[in-house]
Amino acid sequence: MKIENATVLVTGANRGLGLVFTRELLARGARKVYAGARDPATITQPGVLPLRLDVTNPDDVAAAAKQASDVTLVINNAGIAQSGGFLAADSVDVTRRIFETNFFGMLHMSKAFAPILKANGGGALLNVLSVVSWVSGAMAAYSASKSAAWSLTNALRLELAAQKTQVLGLHMGFVDTDLAREFDAPKSSAEEIVKRALDGLESGLDEVLADERTVQVKQGLTATRPSYLPQAS
């Protein structure tokens, strides 16, 4: 999928990785960039078309699909996170809330835009996942939502093959955005992650492992002691 002359919709485009995606898409010659945001007034990037889009709201998703019917690339980027384990008192409510955005939001968007991508020649879906698709940690419900979103991405790839829609899963560890602010750990810049993601998309890849830790974790899945089990320190 080439970015030049593409018409793109990015969810969660007002800040963090989403904002950087819109900038890089414009720099690579995208014809039109719809910037989805819960509050379109928070879109500051010049040259994009702000779109009211809460991915958990089916009416917003349907309205976006009507308005952005020329889209050839959808970037499912919107996401939320919260620290805590499954044994915490509020874990069921927290898990439902996180899945509503990170899993069902992606599902709603993908279903609404699949026929549009087909009508526009196939195009692509880029789903923003994480290294925690494969390992859990301080954010248990978030990790589970990314595992589920990884499975969704793999299923969509199979279902959309017939209409020639490229489906790319993007995995990475910490990125220097608001979402990871509470963690004192090495972080990639949003700019480098977005560049690797779009390079991978333009090269026709199905999956991008955007940092070294993610490469190691994925390789470690088949180790004698796989990476998702506690490692000796």
Ligand X SMILES: NC(=O)c1ccc[n+]([C@@H]2O[C@H](COP(=O)([O-])OP(=O)(O)OC[C@H]3O[C@@H](n4cnc5c(N)ncnc54)[C@H](OP(=O)(O)O)[C@@H]3O)[C@@H](O)[C@H]2O)c1
Catalytic residue numbers read 142, 146
Please name the residues in contact with 172: beta carbons below 8 A apart, sequence gap of 6 or more: 130, 131, 188, 193, 209, 210, 211, 214
Site track 111-130 with ligand X (rule: CB under 6 A), x = hit: -----------------x-x
**Shortest Å, Cβ 230 to ligand X:** 21
Q: According to the binding rule CB under 6 A, does residue 55 interact with ligand X?
A: yes
Residue 1, both tokens: 């999928």
**Shortest Å, Cβ 232 to ligand X:** 25
Quote the CA–CA distance of 40 and 50 in Å, as a whole number.
6
Q: Is 24 left (phi over 0), alpha (psi -120 to 50) or beta?
A: alpha
Exactly one of 140, 175, 194, 197 binds ligand X (CB under 6 A); which one?
A: 175
Q: According to the binding rule CB under 6 A, does residue 49 interact with ligand X?
A: no
Residue 231, both tokens: 């490692």
Q: According to the binding rule CB under 6 A, does residue 184 interact with ligand X?
A: no
**Shortest Å, Cβ 45 to ligand X:** 12
Quote the CA–CA distance of 154 and 157 in Å, as a whole number.
5
**Binding site residues, ligand X, CB under 6 A:** 11-12, 14-18, 38-39, 42, 53-56, 77-81, 101, 105, 128, 130, 172, 174-175, 177-180
